[in-house]
Structure 1
């Protein structure tokens, strides 16, 4: 297959594994109407369902589009609280939610400094962009105490989660 991009193997990530508690953080959490600073612990504690934390490339990158289209089409919000996270601004997240037609059902954290990905051990530098990093695609299914029930972290770029396996966790 002739791809318009190179597939790149990524270095090993030192990320939270099943049974571990993920670090808490507070960042702007964007929905289709507004955003406000909300901690992950607050999201987990308020949810009666598992929380699916989806780290994705910056909004507008083709992997982010594919990931969100798949999550929307599979209606994960029916069985879980789904929140995304990327380095994009709240304004870009509002556009992503609108363009992907997922308003109301999903929220996305804005972390332009990529500090959360660094805490989670999943930060990766963008090829050809000195000083700019973003989270590698990752999915963590969490319980109300932020304990990881399932973790998937990309080991190559681009890479996508096994959506069926994530659904089995829900």
Structure 2
């Protein structure tokens, strides 16, 4: 038995396969610096795997990034994270992990709201984070694959994501 409770999350009206993913501009962080970038500027260069996760350091985030690194998806697609963590926290995470990814910082969870993946943290009013979610986007920001957590904690079907990446 896990040392934590598994909790069902309320239903959500999130971005689905076949939808055009909403564009947004937020600080995009790598190991060296960050700059405001739009999602559309990334998809112009090819498909993007957008991985929404709880704040940096939360165990679900660690598990997801470990799996992404182990499967070497960054060799096949541009892997980009999204969470409420600040650029400073993202830069520390990337430096510690040596991850081959970039991370969007969305501390106000506005992008989470656009995507329908906002989640009130432990029922605390006004404290919102990103529900774990994965969106595989093509060059036109069409969602080719979508997975959104339905319970806490919940983890994506990694084999399904890998198959969707291979189909691009």
Q: 1:97 deviation in Å?
A: 1.0
For this pair of structures, how many residues does the alignment match?
165
Partner of 1:21: 20
Q: 1:99 deviation in Å?
A: 1.9
Deviation larger for 142-151 or 119-128: 119-128
**Is the contact between residue 53 and residue 141 of structure 1 (CA under 8 Å) also seen in structure 2?**
yes
Partner of 1:80: 77
Matches within 5 A, 1:81-100: 81-100=78-97
Residue 94 of structure 2 corresponds to residue 61 of structure 1 = no
Residue 35 of structure 2 corresponds to residue 36 of structure 1 = yes
In 1: Cα distance, 2:87 partner to 2:68 partner: 20
Q: CA RMSD in A?
A: 0.9
Structure 1 consecutive aligned stretches of length 4 or more whose deviation exceeds 3 Å? none
In 2: Cα distance, 1:149 partner to 1:62 partner: 27
Residue 127 of structure 1 aligns to a residue in which SS?
helix
The TM-score with structure 2 as length reference comes to 0.96
Partner of 2:117: 122
In 2: Cα distance, 1:92 partner to 1:128 partner: 23
Residue 96 of structure 1 aligns to a residue in which SS?
helix
In 1: Cα distance, 2:77 partner to 2:27 partner: 20
User: Which structure 1 residue ranges, 5 or more long, are not aligned?
Assistant: none
In 2: Cα distance, 1:100 partner to 1:152 partner: 24
